[in-house]
Structure 1
Amino acid sequence: MSDAFVTRSLDEIRFWSRIMKEHSLFLRLGFRAEDTQLIAEANHFQAIFEDIERRSHVFSVDTDPQTIRAFNTEVQNAATHIWAFKRRILGLILQCKLPGGTNFPLLVDHVSREANYFRNRLDELNRGRLEPLHDAIIDENLFFLKIMADHAKFIGHLLDPSERKLVDQAREFSHEFDQLVFQAIDLSSMRPQSQTVPLLSQFVDENKVSVKSLRDFKKTASDLIEQCRIKSIIHPLLADHVFREAERFLIILDMFDQSLSGHKVNKREILF
């Protein structure tokens, strides 16, 4: 399984280091001009994760697992530091010490949850203690459904209010994913009795339908923003960023679907 460990580790690092790098940029753009120390820290983290992303592509599936284990530890340490940075920013905002900035508290909490997810995943990989399939299905969905619900809220708030149809669509997605989060919480609280293949299969299938719709909405919005065809204050990179995260969730859901259907999942792909 050493090749699976290497492949999974590199997959996680390549995806999430890019996400962390972009978080640093988005946070920096939301700071006030006078927040020079926070801007410098954001730039520092952007450079760190840009370097991690670059270095991750130097390795291959044939790289010695011990080398990757050491790399995981290094990246986990960086993810822990950016998580602490994000939580500190959240504290400053909630204590009204950064008035006039444009980073929503929910957005800062959101990006900190993703950093926490990233560092925990690397720790699990290094320890060889990934969750059993049925637990992973519920916990991954709980995490990503909340992420998708947040995205819909951010899109709705960052579109120009005059884009009424798109704002309404974003609000509808926000409500839909809030309901899916509540369903996931209920399924989780019923564990282990709820962890039957029929229930989990329905859970995954229902979520796939909703995530595909949201993914397509994000793609359309991203294209329209890139072409300057709608009014918003959404950075084009942010639009692409949330689209990629929806795509990531769909890949994970497809893996769960295959596993529950009894299909063998390729070890070189995302494993749970």
Structure 2
Amino acid sequence: MSDSFVARSLDEIRFWSRIMKEHALFLRLGFRCEDTQLIQEANYFFALFEQIEDQSNTFTLEADPQTIINFNTEVYNAASGIWVFKRKVLGLVLRCQLPGQNNFPLLIDHVSREANYFRNRLRELNTGTLEPLPDAIIDENVFFLRIMADHAKFIGHLLDPSERKLVAQAREFSHDFDQLLFQAKDLESMRPQSQTYPLLDQFLDQNRVSVKSLRDFKKTARELIEACRIKSIIHPLLADHVFREAERFLTIIDMFEKHLNAQARKK
């Protein structure tokens, strides 16, 4: 195991454990007062991922790889647990067994997709089965483009309807990212023939432009919400949460661009 394995594992866990912790909070806030069992389960996962987040920060890049393998396995089990919880809640909502709760079905599905992504990444790291770069570029973008499209939809629905200009902007971003997702799915179905340097490079460039615009919109919305300058039912932490995920996507795009250009120079 190399130092990069330790660094990559800790980076994934530090980012996604905080995301999972916040998912538990957001779900809990959407439950009804009488949903005491679900609230208790959400509180359990909040505390669990807070402990994981704290523990991850005690490790350094010099940590023993076997220790990190064991830690990854523990976190994988926790991510699997919260994924099961989220899918259970989704089933209850879709069967109309939680009337009056405030978690959109798409939001519950959204957070469960992120839990599944997290646990799959931990398994890939532990088994050394990370995808080749061309596949990773397409698959990561398909995943994150859908996440960004979802975010735009949630923002549009959680803003007060009287915030007409911001709602219209959110809808425009939703449409833009739906189109980018469709394009990514087309590129996905055309592989391996589509995995040429020019196509992948253009793919990353185009997505970067749109993600930066959405990131900036989220940043502005977060600042307005924190200053109580717009009308919405968006929790300030949720505004920051979606901003951080856009930042994460941009970091991944930049990383892919760097590796893609390095490979092109070698040829």
Asked whether the two chains share a fold, i.e. TM above 0.5, the reply is: yes
1:258 deviates by 1.0
- Structure 2 match to 1:179: 179
Q: How many angstroms apart in 1 are the aligned matches of 2:103 and 2:2?
A: 41
Instruction: Tell me the equivalent position of 1:238.
Output: 238
2:76 counterpart of 1:69:
no
Cα distance in 2, alignment partners of residues 60 and 244 from structure 1:
23
Provide the C-alpha distance between the structure 2 equivalents of 1:46 and 1:131, rounded to a whole number of angstroms.
Answer: 31
Q: Are residues 1:159 and 2:159 paired?
A: yes
Counterpart of 2:225 in structure 1 is 225
For 1:101 and 1:203, the matched residues in 2 are separated by 39
Cα displacement string for residues 215-241 of structure 1 (whole angstroms, at most 9, x for unaligned residues): 000000000000000000000000000
CA distance in 1, matches of 2:259, 2:73: 29
Q: Following the alignment from structure 1 to structure 2, what is the Cα–Cα distance between the partners of residues 27 and 60? A: 32
For normalisation by structure 2, the TM-score amounts to 0.98
Find the aligned partners of 2:260 and 2:41 in 1 and give their Cα distance. 44
Runs of 4+ off more than 4 Å: none
| Structure 2 match to 1:134 | 134
For the residues of structure 1 that align with 2:259 and 2:63, how far apart are their CA atoms? Answer: 27
The alignment yields a C-alpha RMSD, in angstroms, of 0.9
Q: Which residue of 1 aligns with 2:93?
A: 93
1:97, distance to aligned residue in structure 2 (A) = 0.3
SS of 1:124's equivalent in the other structure is: helix
Matches of residues 105-116 of structure 1 in structure 2 within 5 Å? 105-116=105-116
CA drift at 1:170: 0.1
Q: CA–CA distance in 2 between the matches of 1:90 and 1:48?
A: 21
Separation in structure 1 between the aligned mates of residue 127 and residue 263 of structure 2, nearest angstrom: 26
Deviations 1:96-150 (A, max 9, x none): 0000000000000000000000000000000011000000000000000000000
1:166-216 residue CA offsets vs partner (Å, 9 max, x unmatched): 000000000000000000000000010000000000000000000000000
Figure out how many residues of one structure are paired with residues of the other and give that number.
264
Aligned residue for 2:204? 204
Distance 1:246 1:263 in 2: 26
Partner of 1:270: none
Instruction: Give percent identity, aligned residues only.
Output: 78
How far off is 1:260 after superposition? 1.6
TM-score (norm 1): 0.96
| Greater relative contact order (CA < 8 Å, ≥ 6 in sequence) | 1
What letter is aligned with 1:164?
R
Tell me the CA shift for residue 20 of structure 1: 0.1
1:10 Cα offset (Å): 0.2
SS in 1 for 2:262: coil
Q: Match for 2:139: what amino acid?
A: D
Unmatched segments (≥5 aa) in structure 1: 265-272
Question: How far is the alpha carbon of 1:263 from its aligned partner?
Answer: 7.4
Q: Counterpart of 2:188? A: 188
